[in-house]
Amino acid sequence: MTEMLKKKSSELDLKFRYEIAEKIGAKSLLKCIQCGVCSSGCTVTEYVDIQPHRVVASCLLGLKEEVLSSKAIWTCSLCHRCTERCPKNVDYSFILALLRNMAASEGKIPKEYSGAVETIYNNGFVVPYTGGLKKNIDKRRERLGLPEIMPPPLEEIQIIFDETGLGALIRKEEGKIK
Ligand code: SF4
Ligand code: SF4
């Protein structure tokens, strides 16, 4: 963060705070008083590279590149505790979801996410239901008297991905999925 604050003012995107705040439900960003309550109660605080109150400060200061490239916006578990505890009613967990959308539209998506999307696109399952895994599961289900797992409607899933732009976003990031 200290390094981030060494940026020259010409390198800051001073419109970033308004770019976020103008979105429905995100105006509360501008009310932050930097009390740090969000960070003190964050359930993933030890895993994030930038603490919640500092992400908010970075948005307000115009550190767009740093925020959208941070792991913090993806590590959040969206438990909403920060939002519940904020004395100024800053809806941080909602703002984080917006930041993810902004990052994704620039192709900044962690491999863990894009990989999961690619797997669903290609298989219809988060974990491919094939080979040895399929055999084992099928055997166990048969033993338990459970019905066969029906294959998901892959074509429909792929249409949804393509129509919503999700498939294109992943292609942008990794040049994959077909
Ligand atoms: S709890 Fe709210 S006011 Fe305090 S730092 Fe976090 S977002 Fe800002
Ligand atoms: S919603 Fe995210 S940032 Fe907020 S407390 Fe939960 S894990 Fe932390």
Whole-number average pLDDT of the chain = 89
C-alpha to C-alpha distance for 1 and 5, rounded to whole angstroms: 6
Closest-approaching ligand to the CA atom of 94: 2
Residue 175 predicted with pLDDT over 50: no
Is residue 154 within a helix (H) or strand (E), and if so which, with residue range?
helix 154-164
Q: What pLDDT, on the 0 to 100 scale, is given for residue 177?
A: 39
Domains and CATH numbers, the chain: 9-105 (1.10.1060.10), 111-174 (no CATH)
d(CA 17, CA 124) in angstroms, rounded, equals: 38
What is the separation of C-alpha 39 from the centre of its chain, rounded to a whole number of angstroms? 18
Residue pLDDT, tens place only, 118-141: 899 999 998 888 889 999 999 999
Residue with tokens 């940026």, as numbered in its chain: 7
- 85 Cα: distance to centroid of ligand 2 (angstroms): 11
Yes or no: say if 55 and 72 are a contact pair by the CB < 8 Å rule: yes
What interhelical angle do 52-61 and 92-105 show, nearest 10? Answer: 60
- Is residue 29 over pLDDT 70? yes
Q: State which of 6-10, 43-47, 53-57 shows the largest mean pLDDT.
A: 53-57
Ligand 2 atom 5: the closest Cα is on which residue?
A: 42
**Would the pTM of this model clear 0.75, i.e. be above it?**
yes
